[in-house]
Structure 1
Amino acid sequence: MDQWDQLDKELRVIRRLKFSGYFLIVADIVDFCERSDILCQGRGSAANSAVCYALGVTSVDPVEFGLLFERFLSDERTGPPDIDIDIESGRREEVIQYVYGKYGRDRAALVANVVTYRPRSAVRDAAKALGYGHDQAVAWSKRLHRWSGIDPGEAQGIPADVQALAGELRDLPQHLGIHPGGMVLTEEPVSQVVPVEPARMKDRTVLQWDKEDCADAHLVKFDLLGLGMLEALHRMSDLVRDFHGRVVRLWQLPPDEPEVYEMLCRADTVGVFQVESRAQMATLPRLRPRRFKDLVAEVALIRPGPIQGGAVHPYLRRRHGEPWEHLVHPRLMPALKKTYGVPLFQEQLMQVAIDAAGFNGGEADQLRRAMGAKRSAARMEELKERLYAGMEERGIVGAQADQIYDQLKSFADFGFPESHAASFAHLVYSSAWLKCHYPAAFYAGLLASQPMGFYSPASLIADAQRHGIEVLAPDVNASGEVASLVATAREREAPLHGVADVRLGLDNVKGLGGEAGRRIAAAREAGPFGSLADLARRAGIDRARMEKLAVAGALGSLEGDRRKALWAAGTVDERPGTIPGTGPAAPPPTLPGMSAAELARADYTGLGLSVETHPMELVRAGLDAEGVLTARRLPHMKDGKRVEIAGIVTHRQRPSTAKG
């Protein structure tokens, strides 16, 4: 089927189901984002639609990928389609307010989210209810790290009555929140359909129903979701344009650059969207992606379902030559060939039902939904009979039919939408392309978009330094509100398209606040600050914030000695409008300079990181004397030998293993 035939087919379904208005509203929201220079991208099952692609809602060509439209919409489906739009997180509120403004506050509202008790909150509230003090309750709750269930190893010392009551509270409603992005639009005033209340956030109203209630009532919902990587990509492309003079259009990047895939094969992916986790970094050198579709598989492969379903290792082995064709029934080959006989995508489940049992697209989607997380035993039994009858007509009976049914049933537990994986793969490639060719802009964009992603700013800075990029500390006479690029004397070498260093922004200074950072950057446009008093007067910086700047080393251009700067910050008493030189002018006393350890401590106090010193440098000599190994020596140790290592905890993670 070519593109025109696909569009005709989809438009007929959309007209029959009377969803034309829904698509036009979504297209209008996307058009607003484009007019306002806000990055957005449709994802999820909407990427199965050629109409969504033609409207600019999604960035995946479903005809090229062979995606099934029925995964998104069909005559057999009840309720409206579900289109998720990712919007750069820093500007999502603009889009929400546009929807309110265009369609009316009486006909638009955000969907509620029922927040249920998890182990930490359950232990905390249970302890308080049983009369324990607030501090003790919080201390007990902080021991727990699991999302589901209380780990006995972590719960040691928590009284049995607290654990028992917390177990009863688990999964019960705790409070009403706001859905991450769901908005409802109605023809009549929404308050006539569902209870509405003002949200805590200004200019927002929220339903008192969650998304499941809204679906049951057939309310039309739009998901406007914030995505930090889109904000970071926008910042990166702006930095490349402003500093290097090249306009980067993310959706028009060449999708097959060998240098980008070489970087991915090396697992040089700190900060790269979706492939920066340890599991992804361990898989990339084994998968060795060479084209865009390999990234789609990578996104879908390293997830709890495929890992626990035992799909990862067979896929990797077969990709590199292990025979597998004899394991797949010929009827299933068209659907499973692209993933070496290992089912990864929900669309493959549907295609198997179509090829093996003669289902149409709508019936195949019903099978997928019946076999999904919210299984209906009656509906599954009904479809099972239809499936077996269809397979018998095509000569698939007995053990072969049972094997296909069992494969479909087990696969339904973890299959990932190929359309969703393809949408995310575009962001994987875009972020990898920028890291490969403009690494300084890549890191600056990530640092300016914090908090987001898998790694902390300190980890991102360390990775930038490993790539030869100098990262400079914030300074009131050099830094903007957020991280920026500065010129460097380094030569440009392939595959780099531009070289630069990074200057941290004033937003990295703890306790300074965004408004104070903006005032400093704005006041400096009239010329550099000449003294601490000049800074206080022109930017309106009070004594407390001046001390925050001093601790962080951001006053280095005005007073190079950190201890003297801290002393002077406590004596400055000039404000906007005062006559220069009328404040206290006593010179600081003679003070000893800070040691390397004191400077590092001040950096971590003021910034949460240090661009000059890693804390391990300060204790390495003592660790060496005690026989504590460095990472460089570990590969040379005998297998099975017990060793001691030391480091700093950057983040905690407890991912599910193949055994759960």
Structure 2
Amino acid sequence: MYLNCHTYYSLRYGTIKPEQLLAIASENGVQTLALTDINSTSACLDVMRLSKKYKIKPVLGVDFRNGVQQQFILIAKSNLGFQNINDYLSKFLHNNKLKIPERPEYILQDCFVVYPYHKGKNFKLKSNEFLGIAPEDLNLLKFSKWNQFREKLVVLKTVSFQNKKGFNTHRLLRAIDNNTLLSKLPKSEEGQPQHTMLPYDSLYTIYNNYPELIDNTNSLLNACNTRFDFSNQTPNNQRFYTNNAELDFKLLKKLTYDGLHYRYKKPGERIFKRIEKELSIIKEKGFVSYFLINWKILKYARSKGYFYVGRGSGANSIIAYLLRITDVDPVELDLYFERFINLFRTNPPDFDIDFSWRDREDITQFIFKRFKHTALLAAYNTFKFRASIRELGKVFGLPKSEMDRLTRGKYQVSKLDRLSQLVINYSTYIEGFPNYLSIHAGGIIISERPIHYYTATFMPPKGFATTQFDMVVAEDIGLYKFDILSQRGLGKIKEATEIVAYNNPKQKPMDIHDIKRFKQDTRIKHLLRNAKAIGCFYVESPAMRMLLKKLQVDNYLGLVAASSVIRPGVSKSGMMREYILRYRYPEKRKEAHPVLRDIMPETYGVMVYQEDVIKVAHHFGGLTLGEADMLRRGMSGKFRSREEFLKVKQQFFDNCKKDGKPDDLTAEIWRQIESFAGYAFAKGHSASYAVESYQSLFLKAYYPLEYMVATINNFGGFYRTEFYVHEARMHGGIIEAPCINNSYNHATIQGKTIYLGFMFLQSLESKTIARILEARDIGGCFNSLDDFIERVPISIEQIAILIKINAFRFTTINKRELLWEAHLKISKTIIEEETVTLFKTKRINYSTPELPSTALENAFDEIELLGFPLCNPFQLLEQQSTNRLRAKDLEQHKGKTVIIEGYLVTTKQTKTSNRKLMHFGTFLDRDGDFVDTVHFPPIAAKYPFRGKGVYKITGKVMIEFDCVTIEVSKLEHLAIIEDPRYSDKKLRAS
């Protein structure tokens, strides 16, 4: 008899988890309930999937509200009715200016409408419309005309909370939503404390005098039958590419063999056997259209000249390689096709396609236009504990200092006052509650049926319809995502090739996709072996740089392994060190367990790739391929709590015991699987990353300055812009601040001179940049400050930025004098576009005082406007050091305590096994070379980092696998000079 039940997907209102709602209903003897979240269908499919477990028949609908003001409830009689509800709700979610009316404007087929008594009592009800009578409405009903029309009345008992704590939580969520103190929350913004579920018999008793209402409600619920198939036997993605299965397969086969000679000069029998095997499995599993849709998307991308990388387990497929979905040769790498598709695998293949961040939106636009039933996937942004402390702290009126203390964890709960305790208690309680819907990083679904068959959609600022459920729910229902992702690495590569072509017009065009040649290139091998890869995709971070140094990798297969070994789980399990030992010292390979060595000879018995989990689970743990794949997927965390995963885990242990394997060995192998399987890459995924790494390494090896310019323009990678500017300087680049006559929006290169772009100047407006470039394009270079002011409408604030960065240095007039001139010549009135006149008015030239500026003043202007100085930062130290120790000298001091100065590049913090905080640091020495440091917990606590700048580092030099680090014992942040722009001290020009 429950027609209006809410979960916590009634965002910032309901407080019951979806499965908890079913459990509560089961405890209360309820056999049927209508899930009607407020303007949301997020929980519908999950409740439908879980309902069998609780032996409850779920009915689906939506509670339509403007804010908290209930207008009506729509309940679906069938799947068609649910689709119609989703269509109707989406209309309002796509346009937030539309208000939900008091009643639907038209009859929705296969839907019931229930109005709350106070709303609908004056309506003339249609055949599918009813008036809902809440328990508190029963006294009013006695004296109402509707008492004579009981056939149109139903029980309306709302369920939003489990108990009093749920209601209190609801009030806090409402206060957060209204951005108000709890004490000031209007009652009109709250639900009713009695909106909890009663036992069926108790509810029956309340309406005992109105048996017609009970009968009507039960009849309505009995008339509703919505069905969804969660068996995953057949994917619900678009079934055909050509509207015909046979034609689809013919096309796939044709495209495969058409691509053969592009990829292989002399394909052998092994290639043809692999092709036929894959085609057969793809056809049998019904994944033909999935391949063809990806092929179509990437054919469009190539037609537009977009760079892309196809990665994920899809790189294990030779069909994907021949269709140019991926650039990884699975035969060369002996990639395990069964990791991608096997006859036991229930979920379909998965391609992750990376595009440049500049190109992805156009690709998404194409997909929405080309394929009929398309939507982006949502992601649930949930309440996090620390963020909740701040939100609830505001609701309770706590001072900022108290909220800061609580978020830092500097408290004992028992010693907190009552309000602070409540904040901690409720922050813990709402942790994990959905807060709002956002967009999945790249997931798109292309469905056979209309998207609204499954869910309503909302319209985020990106302008693409987005589901109300996430990828896990989508997968449960057989809607498997296409991952259309973006990254800056591809933008860097593409732009670098364009810069190289522009700067070298007579040079033969390079083939950036000639990976086979790059793999043999001696310059690239040198960069890899010596970890000289700053700016290069996936191999530039301090951790990766140190790993490459330890492994001394100089080949493709070694880099593929390193890409997965670096992942968190492998290092945490201790197997990264073991892999390095076995890689560097062949005699150590004998220490691997014989079974594991036989399963994974290429990685010396160490699990490195996701495929290794499947192999070990299958060959060592005796699981079927299907069970092994379920184990691999479960390790990702999404399904870890699922019963299916826990059964497979138990099966692994049971099989090992039955096979006579020692318990301690089984436990150790499981520990290795569990510690890294959720983080490890598929081998094909690592191979795809390595291809992009090789492309960027080639550009870095042969065109370092052009590549650094492209890196700077695409906002870098792992490091800040400052350090890519530094890297360009290390390769002979001459770095110039933005210049009125030579700079553009982005950075540009002329010979070895790199001009930073206007876009890097903080607070310089885009319209100002556009005006400068337009004026220069029309009238040529500027010849004076007066000429600039005549041609570019600009405010004093905007021109001051340009003068301070020395953008008018071509005039040879000191910038302090130029600032005076500008202040005298530019009005502070609102700037309008230049008006063209027949005669130019001659400007008055004022006599300005001589105001010299120094190189040090320039450096502080650069820090203010660019975020970093263009000079060596060591020049800004208050006391110039005489310390001659450099990074290149550290090898000679192994085991000794040294003192060295370093300019902080980046830090990484982590926790030890006993949860204590420690740090890794990366610095540059005076010569611009890297210094790597380790800060163990006592030192990390005693000598914390104190922001950007130069540090005096004291510590012991440690060398492991040829990689030099300093184990820090003391860290001192060195003082810089007082800002000379505001100092009375006389400073030397330097």
8 Å contact from structure 1 (residues 240, 248) kept in 2: no
Amino acid at match of 1:81: P
CA distance in 1, matches of 2:524, 2:729: 20
1:339 aligned residue: 603
Q: CA deviation at 1:329?
A: 4.8
Q: CA deviation at 1:308?
A: 0.4
Indicate the residue corresponding to 1:102 in structure 2: 370
User: Could you tell me which of 293, 311, 331 is aligned with 2:575?
Assistant: 311
Task: Assess, with a 3 A threshold, how the Cα gap between structure 1 residues 391 and 15 changes in structure 2: closer, same or farther.
Answer: farther
- CA deviation digits over 1:339-391, x for unaligned, max 9? 12222111123234555577665454234335553335655545765897699
Residue of structure 1 in register with 2:698 after alignment? 433
Q: Does 1:263 align with 2:527?
A: yes
Preserved CA contact (<8 Å) 2:814 2:851: no
The amino acid that maps onto 2:764 is L
Structure 1 unaligned residues grouped into runs of 5+: 145-149, 488-499
Q: CA deviation at 1:310?
A: 0.3
Match of 2:391 in 1: 125
Measure the CA separation in 1 of the matches of 2:753 and 2:489: 21
Aligned equivalents of 2:651, 2:590: Cα separation in 1: 27
Q: Does 1:572 align with 2:826?
A: yes
CA contact (8 A) 1:324 1:340 kept: no
Match of 1:605 in 2: 864
The 2-side partners of 1:32 and 1:583 are apart by 56
Query: What do you get for the CA RMSD once the two structures are aligned?
Result: 3.5
Residues 607 and 268 (structure 1), Cα distance of their counterparts in 2 relative to 1, 3 Å cut: same
Corresponding residue to 1:504 among 747, 756, 769: 756
What CA distance in whole angstroms lies between the structure 2 residues aligned with 1:181 and 1:316?
A: 34
In the alignment, which of 172, 176, 180 is matched to residue 441 of structure 2?
Answer: 180
Aligned-residue offset at 1:50: 1.4
Change (3 A) 1:372 1:220: closer
1:238 aligns to what? 498
Structure 2 stretches of 5 or more lacking a match? 1-268, 916-990
Deviations 1:401-457 (A, max 9, x none): 97367425522431421111111111222212211111101110100101x411111
Shift of residue 121, structure 1, vs aligned partner: 2.6
Q: Distance in 2 between matches of 1:448 and 1:461?
A: 11
User: Distance in 2 between the 1:194 and 1:234 partners?
Assistant: 38
- Counterpart of 2:963 in structure 1 is none
| One-letter amino acid of the structure 2 residue matched with residue 654 of structure 1 | Q
Instruction: Give the corresponding residue for 1:457.
Output: 721
- Which structure is larger by alpha-carbon Rg, 1 or 2? 2
**1:132/1:538 CA distance change after superposition, 3 Å:** farther
Contact in 2 for aligned 1:10/1:49 (Cα 8 Å):
yes
Q: In structure 2, what residue type is equivalent to 1:186?
A: S
SS in 2 for 1:547: helix
Deviation at 1:336, TM superposition (A): 1.5
Correspondence for 1:15: 283
**CA–CA separation in structure 1 for the residues paired with 2:611 and 2:446:** 30
Alignment CA distance shift 1:342-1:480 (3 Å): same
Counterpart position of 1:55: 323
Q: Distance in 2 between matches of 1:76 and 1:485?
A: 55
Task: Go from structure 1 to structure 2 and tell me whether the alpha carbon gap of 1:632 and 1:26 turns closer, same or farther (over 3 Å shift).
Answer: closer
Does 2:575 align with 1:291? no
Q: Does the CA contact (< 8 Å) of 1:359 and 1:390 recur in 2?
A: no
Partner residue, 1:147: none
- The one-letter code sitting in structure 1 at the alignment partner of 2:712 is L
The 3 A distance-change label for structure 1 pair 256 and 39 is: same
> Which residue is 1:495 aligned to?
none
Task: Tell me: CA distance 1:385–1:125, structure 2 relative to 1, closer, same or farther (3 Å).
Answer: closer
Secondary structure of the structure 1 residue equivalent to 2:445:
strand
Whole-angstrom distance in 1 between the partners of 2:847 and 2:911: 57
Summarize deviations over 1:500-528 as a string: whole Å, max 9, x none.
33221121121224454344334323311
- Where is the strand percentage greater, Structure 1 or Structure 2? 2
User: How far has the Cα of 1:597 moved from its partner?
Assistant: 2.8
Asked whether the equivalents of residues 72 and 82 of structure 1 are also in contact (C-alpha less than 8 Å), the reply is yes
- Per-residue deviation at 1:305? 0.6
Q: Give the conservation status (yes or no) of the 8 Å contact 2:356–2:488.
A: yes
Partner of 1:624: 881
Distance 2:911 2:847 in 1: 57
Find the aligned partners of 2:750 and 2:359 in 1 and give their Cα distance: 26
2:233 aligned residue: none
From 445, 449, 455, the counterpart of 2:710: 445
SS in 1 for 2:695: helix
CA–CA distance in 1 between the matches of 2:688 and 2:809? 45
Shift in Å at residue 333 of structure 1? 3.3
The aligned counterpart of 2:81 is none
Aligned to 1:46: 314
Classify 1:381/1:554 alpha carbon distance in 2 versus 1 (closer, same or farther; 3 Å): same
Give the SS at the match of 1:485: strand
Query: SS at the partner of 2:881?
Result: helix
The correspondence for 2:852, drawn from 582, 585, 593, is: 593
- State the shift of 1:640 in Å: 7.1
The residue number in structure 2 matching 1:653 is 908
- Identify the match of residue 805 of structure 2 among 526, 534, 552: 552
Q: 1:382 to 1:587 in 2, by over 3 A?
A: same
- Which residue of the partner structure matches residue 524 of structure 1? 776
Which structure has more relative contact order (CA 8 Å, sep 6+)? It is 1
- Which residue of structure 1 lines up, in the alignment, with residue 100 of structure 2? none
* In 2: Cα distance, 1:636 partner to 1:581 partner: 70
Relative to the length of structure 1, the TM-score reads 0.85
Aligned equivalents of 1:449, 1:40: Cα separation in 2: 16
Measured after TM superposition, the shift of residue 169 of structure 1 is 4.4
**Larger CA deviation: 456-465 vs 563-572:** 563-572
The DSSP-based 3-state class of the residue aligned with 1:593 is coil
Query: What is the DSSP-based 3-state SS (H/G/I as helix, E as strand, rest coil) of the residue aligned with 2:801?
Result: helix
Cα offset, 1:271, TM superposition: 1.6
> d(CA) in 1 for partners of 2:272 and 2:347?
26
* Distance of aligned partners of 1:167 and 1:11 in 2 relative to their CA distance in 1, 3 Å threshold: same
- The answer as to whether partners of 1:533 and 1:572 remain within 8 angstroms in 2 is no
1: distance between equivalents of 2:821 and 2:386? Answer: 44
What is the deviation of 1:193? 2.7
User: In the aligned structure 1, how far is the partner of 2:528 from the partner of 2:410?
Assistant: 36
1:654 match: secondary structure: strand
Q: In structure 2, what is the Cα distance between the partners aligned to 1:369 and 1:17?
A: 19
- 1:50–1:63 Cα contact (<8 Å) kept: yes
Structure 2 partner of 1:273: 537
Displacement after TM superposition at 1:610 (Å): 2.4
- CA shift, 1:200, in A, is 1.9
Q: 2:622·2:652 contact (CA, 8 Å) conserved in 1?
A: no
Task: Give the deviation of 1:207 after TM superposition.
Answer: 1.9
The answer on 1:216 being equivalent to 2:470 is no
**Partner in structure 1 of residue 24 of structure 2:** none
8 Å Cα contact 1:532/1:572 also seen in 2: no
Q: Is the 8 A contact 1:506 1:517 kept in 2?
A: yes
Amino acid at match of 1:502: I
Rounded to whole Å, the distance in 2 between the matches of 1:382 and 1:164 is 36
Report the Cα distance in structure 2 between the residues aligned to 1:11 and 1:589, rounded to whole angstroms: 80
- TM-aligned CA distance change 1:230 to 1:321, over 3 Å: same
In the alignment, the residues of structure 2 paired with residue 652 and residue 583 of structure 1 have an alpha-carbon distance, to the nearest angstrom, of 56
Deviates more, 1:549-558 or 1:291-300: 549-558
Distance 2:735 2:887 in 1: 23
Q: Which moved more, 1:35-44 or 1:321-330?
A: 321-330
Secondary structure of residue in 2 paired with 1:42:
strand
- Partner Cα separation in structure 2 for residue 152 and residue 471 of structure 1: 50
Query: In 2, distance between residues paired with 1:71 and 1:303?
Result: 19
Q: How many residues align?
A: 627
> 2:513 is paired with a residue of what secondary structure?
helix
Which residue number corresponds to residue 494 of structure 1? none
Instruction: Give, in whole Å, the separation in 2 of the partners of 1:606 and 1:121.
Output: 32
1:250 to 512, 519, 530: 512
For 1:323-334, list aligned pairs within 5 A: 323-334=587-598
